[in-house]
Amino acid sequence: MLGWAVALIVVPICACRADGPWNASFTATSDYIFRGVSQTYGGAAVQLGANYQSPFGWFAGAWGSNVDPYPSGDASKELDLYAGVTRPLGDNVSARLTYTHYVYLDDPRPVRYDYDDFALSVDYMDRFAITVLYQPDFTSYSQLGFAHKRPTVDYEISSTWPLSSRFALVGGVGYYDLQRLFGVSYWSGSAGIAYVDRRLEIELRRFFSDGTVARLWEDASADGDVVVSVMFRF
């Protein structure tokens, strides 16, 4: 099963962080979808996060969510521990390097699915980002078989286009290379609208993906699903 914070990378609409270097978030979402795959098989999720941002550009934090690795089975918890650094490349362009370690707690599966992720992003004016991600030790089970500790590479593009001070169009698309896992690759994405009022953010997104996702994970495919998420920032 795949897992991380949110489907694709979400570029912030505005500076809605708490004052000071520390910030935290609480999110309730009707479905936890990541890379075209529902991590909760269509169920709701509650997600918590905390982050420290240094004035020198480096950052570190943790993020967690409930997940359901098996449909109608025992639930598990995903914990993501991350750190990285952001550096300006020009007046409106910045680069970010992030390392994330994914841990699954109380996981009912017989093998460990924990893995590492290295991501390099280039961002333009907080409106457009291109990201390349590399996982050297990814583990997944699908209808095409079981792959243990194999490398994968992902490519993602995300964008936020402000419509007003409180509304913005949001979306993105990704290409996921699982050739070394299952001999296939696939693409998925999302598009929607977001509302931001100080520390409150509400998103409505529609997700889409090609038929390979259903071949791999059947009912976990999020193609055509509409998701509502509410986030509070502290």
The model's pLDDT over 40-82, given as tens digits with 9 standing for 90+, comes to: 999 999 999 999 999 999 999 999 999 998 776 678 999 999 9
Q: Residue 25: pLDDT above 80?
A: yes
pLDDT for res 6 = 39
Per-residue pLDDT at 2: 37
Q: Is the pLDDT of residue 186 over 70?
A: yes
Whether the full predicted model's pTM is greater than 0.75, yes or no, is: yes
Going from the C-alpha of 86 to that of each of 33, 119, 122, the distances in angstroms are 26, 12, 10
pLDDT exceeds cutoff 70 at 181: yes
Distance CA 58, CA 177 (A): 29
The pLDDT assigned to 19 comes to 61
Residue with tokens 């489907």: 7
Domains and CATH numbers, the chain: 22-233 (2.40.160.40)
Tell me how many degrees the CA angle 105-133-125 measures, rounded to the nearest 5.
110
Cβ–Cβ < 8 Å for 149, 124: no
Lowest-confidence region among 1-15, 23-37, 98-112, 219-233:
1-15
Is the pLDDT score of 14 beyond 60?
Answer: no
* Nearest residue to 120 (alpha-carbon basis) of 78, 79, 153, 81: 153
Residue 125 falls in which region: left (phi positive, over 0), alpha (psi -120 to 50) or beta: left
Mean pLDDT for 110-130 is 96
Spatial separation of the C-alpha atoms in residues 29 and 40, rounded to whole Å? 11
pLDDT band of 13, cuts 50, 70, 90: very low
- Tell me, what's the pLDDT at 70? 76
Question: Residue 181: enclosing H or E segment and its boundaries?
Answer: helix 179-182
Say what percent of the chain tops pLDDT 90. Answer: 85
Cβ-based neighbours of 6, under 8 Å, separated by 6 or more: 34
Q: Given this model, what pLDDT does residue 75 score? A: 84
Judged against a pLDDT cut of 60, whether residue 233 lies above it is answered with yes
